[in-house]
Amino acid sequence: MNIISGSSNPQLVESLVAKLRVTDPQASIIDCQIEKFSNDEKKVWIKDENKVRGQKVCLLQSFSKPVDENIIETLLLIDALERLGAKEVSLIIPWMGYSLQDKVFREGEAIAAKVIADLISNSFVSRVFLIDLHNPSIPGFFSIPTYHLSAKDLFVEYLKTNNLLQNASVISPDFGGLKRARTFANLLDLPLLNIDKSRDYQTGVVTAHALHGGEISGRNAIVFDDVIVSGGTVAEVASLLKKEGANKVIFIATHGIFCKNGINVVNNSEVDLVITSDSIAHNEKSAKIIQVPLASLFATSLTDWI
């Protein structure tokens, strides 16, 4: 299976191809030129016709910033693959932009996640791979086979390998994430606590009010969530846990968006370590932020379709 990369995350594509070559030595990256016209429209040109015509192809693209631009680019690439005669197209979306808009809060709003799912379902895509969505019901928005993967086992392996589980408790950063955090705590065989947190939906400001379910004093706190948006929750939760006597605060989330100067928010917070996946590429680096690679997970998931 050959892989084509959108603009969002070429490093992850390179890692994925390296993993795929273990079982498929012929796997390679399809040469593609992506440009912009002067009027800001995207233009794509797939150069490797022989790697596409009659072949199974995988396209990887995160719907990360610039979100709308990356979505349109994905649709253009899918159309180009169809016109070149690809046998079928598998689409990996490591981060699905608009997935947080999965319901209507006020009359007159759109269910944006459903709109994106419809766009993909009505294109020349045979199947979609998603990972750790905020709402696990979102795969049901698609009308084509959709596989919802999880990075939990990768995070468990990282914590064990780096001896970060000693004298630790798992923390849910809010009541809404309790089920997700409980699953993770059970994998690690660690106690589970949760934080009472609120968000002002006008300003986006997060406030962590209290810790429930046990003591964290003298212990290490492993906070488990699905996504870090601006870093406000990281800062508030770390501050509360340190006031409660936590030795070390480790915040784990599959997706690190870090918008609105989010990396600086993390750097200036009391969190000791943030662990995310590489679902979203960032040029700016931080000594506090570690990215766990997803390539092996996606390669394993593609094995049945090679």
Query: Would you list the DSSP string of the chain?
Result: -EEEE-SS-HHHHHHHHHHHTTT-TT--BPPEEEEE-TTS-EEEEE--GGGTBTSEEEEE----SSHHHHHHHHHHHHHHHHHTTBSEEEEEESS-TTTT--S-SSTT---HHHHHHHHHHTSS-SEEEEES-SSTTGGGG-SS-EEEE--HHHHHHHHHHTT--TTEEEEESSGGGHHHHHHHHHHHT--EEEEEEEE-TTT--EEEEEEESS--TTSEEEEEEEEESSSHHHHHHHHHHHHTT-SEEEEEEEEE--TTTHHHHHHTSS-SEEEEESSS--SS--TTEEEE--HHHHHHHHGGG-
Q: Is the pLDDT of residue 131 over 80?
A: yes
- Per domain, the residue ranges of the chain are 2-149, 152-292
Average pLDDT over all residues of the chain: 95
Active site residue 197: yes
pTM, 2 dp? 0.95
Q: Beta strand pairing status for 206-212 and 192-199?
A: antiparallel
Nearest C-alpha neighbor of 190 from the set 213, 166, 158: 166
| Percent with pLDDT over 90 in the chain | 89
Q: 202: pLDDT confidence band, cut at 50, 70 and 90?
A: low
Least confident of 39-43, 175-179, 241-245, 286-290: 175-179
Architecture of domain 2-149: 3-Layer(aba) Sandwich (3.40)
Do the domains 2-149 and 152-292 sit in the same CATH topology, yes or no? yes
User: What is the rounded end-to-end Cα distance, in angstroms, of the chain?
Assistant: 5
Q: Is the pLDDT of residue 128 over 80?
A: yes
Q: Is the pLDDT of residue 68 over 90?
A: yes
User: For 272-301, what is each residue's pLDDT tens digit?
Assistant: 999 999 999 999 999 999 999 999 999 999
120 vs 202, more confident: 120
User: For 143-179, what is each residue's pLDDT tens digit?
Assistant: 999 999 999 999 999 999 999 999 999 999 988 889 9
Q: What is the DSSP string of 202-213?
A: TT--EEEEEEES
Q: What are phi and psi of 203, to 5 degrees?
A: -100, -20
Q: Of the listed 42, 43, 51, 197, which one is catalytic?
A: 197
> Across-strand partners of 277?
292
Mean pLDDT on 196-207: 67
Kindly calculate the radius of gyration of the chain based on its CA atoms and give it in whole angstroms.
20
Architecture of domain 152-292: 3-Layer(aba) Sandwich (3.40)
Mean pLDDT on 263-272: 97
CB 215 within 8 A of CB 187: no
Q: Is the pLDDT of residue 19 over 80?
A: yes
